Structure 1
Amino acid sequence: MINAQQAFAQLARQPDDEIDLAAGALAVSGLFQPDLAADEPLVALERLATEAGNSVPAQADLFDQVRAFNHFLFEEHGFAGNQDDFYDPRNSFLDQVLDRRLGIPITLSVLYIEIAARLGLPAYGVGFPGHFLVRIGRGDTALMLDVYAGGVALPESELDLRLADLYGQGTLSIQSHPALLRPATKREILVRMLRNLIGIYRDRGERVNRLAALTASLTLAPDLPDELCERGLLYRDLDYAPAALGDLRRFVEVSDDAEQIAAVTQIIDELGGQPMRLH
């Protein structure tokens, strides 16, 4: 029987279009909840989709379908953003979101996308800066939804305001950077979920879980500069010089941040002069 790490590695080897997003999100959950039985939340997800199919009119226009779906998910079933404890790790675990009906933008978006797909609605995750969104529909009729806020549709003017809050007035706009609304790949969605967990476990000082989240991210995308650097420094702090050197040397090869490369190069030189310790 394979363990959670092996199952996750198998998933990571799949081409993006063959990754089952719900199964991938549950594989993330399984890394931090060893006793998780992934088939149970999948059954719960299918049950929700079946119920939603009885509530969302198949022949209605997109706006009416979205309105009915939002009512089903957020009003009838009570799914909501966890505004009281946003950084609770359980908000990042799809099984816990299904059970507690609380989540953060990305996990609620995964839930929304997966149920929408089972209803035949074209929905995609969008890695919008600062706040994960859902794009539903195609072409000029597509809607941008903030699922964390109950599936509210966001006009372009609101998206521009959010960009201004993050980057300053006039710095970015949807019109000048339409790629900001491109559908995220499944791999990118899973990495973003893991990045949330990396930050949570870093702030909590939980080094074992932080290391697991970093390793999972690098299993999905081996050359992520930030993750390579952070894991390398964490390995150094754990007194595991060989692994630290491997990550930090790879970071220097793939990063384009000259200042950070210089700092990391100095750490590499220091680690390279230390005797190897066996663990």
Structure 2
Amino acid sequence: MTEAQQRFSQLAQQPDDSIDLATAALAVSGLFQPGLAPSETLQSLEALAARAATQVAPEADLFDKVRALNGFLFDELRFTGNQDDFYDPRNSFLDQVLERRLGIPISLSVIYIEIAARLGLPAYGVGFPGHFLVRIGRGDTALMLDVYAGGVALPEDELDQRLADLYGRGTLNIRSHPALLWPATKREILVRMLRNLIGIYRDRGEHINQLSALTAALTLAPDLPGELRERGLLYRDLDYAPAALGDLRRFVEVSDDAEQIAAVTQIIDQLGGQPMRLH
């Protein structure tokens, strides 16, 4: 196990409330960037928060604080969504997002949440379908922000329209499914970041990085059915039958997808009849 993997494993053992989100996001980055110095990025984050504090008046109301923070991050510093190369893995690495000021919804949201927290703003990540959001505040006065679009506040009808675009009109709406706007846990945020990287490395055919991302996700949440199945099949393709069997058997135990269970059971039977190879 590398030093970065060991650091990540130790972090994953912590209770969710004890996880420092910025440190954890940098631990994800370190899995794919040997030699990364997290302390330097954390110092940069603290420096940005200190600069933001000079522009966000403590006595201002919530709306004015958000407006000032948005102006600092998106107008002055020019943080923006990377629309030209959305699937560049650097968009998921917190150190790279801070340096390049380019990212995707979830990585930009993590930076926003961390800076807001240092200013005393109640900011939370929201794993909204299709597009990660930031929630400021709780209750009926909460603001839902699209950080990828410069921190624009989204009213309920816009959120409903986004759901309709994904699932069809009348299928889901915020009023009947308020849990869609509940704050995500830190583990959920990290797993979602890793799922982005899993997809990127899968599409690129970078199997070792894909395997690292899958293993990190399963370190955080050991019984994710999709990740167990994908890692098991990847192990099979890499000709590592013992590990493949372990993941696929666990998938059968935790999945509720009858069709996939049937297909995976056939693969298990095939692998079980092969001679074991040691790697």
TM-score, normalised with respect to structure 2: 0.99
Where do residues 57-206 of structure 1 align in structure 2 (5 Å cutoff)? 57-206=57-206
2:236 & 2:114 partners in 1: Cα distance?
A: 39
Distance in structure 2 (CA, Å) of the matches to 1:38 and 1:233? 33
Which digits, 9 at most, give the CA deviation of each residue in 1:252-271, with x for residues without a partner? 00000000000000000000
Q: Secondary structure at the match of 1:173?
A: coil
SS at match of 1:252: helix
Instruction: Report deviation, 1:272.
Output: 0.2
Q: TM-score, normalised by structure 1?
A: 0.99
User: Who is 2:26 aligned against?
Assistant: 26
Distance between the aligned counterparts of 1:244 and 1:63, measured in 2?
Answer: 51
Counterpart in the other structure of 1:259: 259
In structure 1, what residue type is equivalent to 2:49? A
Q: How does 1:223-242 map to 2 (within 5 A)?
A: 223-242=223-242
* C-alpha separation in 1, matches of 2:9 and 2:255: 24
SS at match of 1:125: strand
SS, match of residue 125 in structure 2: strand
Q: Are positions 1:247 and 2:252 aligned together?
A: no
Amino acid at match of 1:146: D
Identity of aligned residues (%): 83
1:163-185 superposed Cα distances (whole Å, 9 cap, x missing partner): 00000000000001000000000
Deviations for 1:83-122, whole angstroms, at most 9, x for unmatched residues?
Answer: 0000000000000000000000000000000000000000
SS at match of 2:124: strand
Q: CA deviation at 1:138?
A: 2.2
Name the SS of the counterpart of 1:134 in structure 2: strand
> Match of 1:269, SS?
helix
Give yes or no for the alignment of 1:39 onto 2:39.
Answer: yes
Q: Distance in 2 between matches of 1:137 and 1:225?
A: 33
Matched residue type, 1:68: A
What is the letter of the counterpart of residue 220 of structure 1?
A: L
C-alpha displacement of 1:2: 7.0
Give me the whole-angstrom Cα distance separating, in 2, the residues matched to 1:227 and 1:2: 21
The residue type paired with residue 197 of structure 1 is L
Aligned residue number for residue 211 of structure 1: 211
- How far, CA to CA, are the matches of 2:182 and 2:239 in structure 1? 41
Structure 1 runs not aligned, ≥5 long: none
Matched to 1:107, the amino acid is: S
Q: Distance in 1 between matches of 2:36 and 2:131?
A: 28
The 2-side partners of 1:2 and 1:83 are apart by 33
5+ long unaligned stretches in structure 2: none
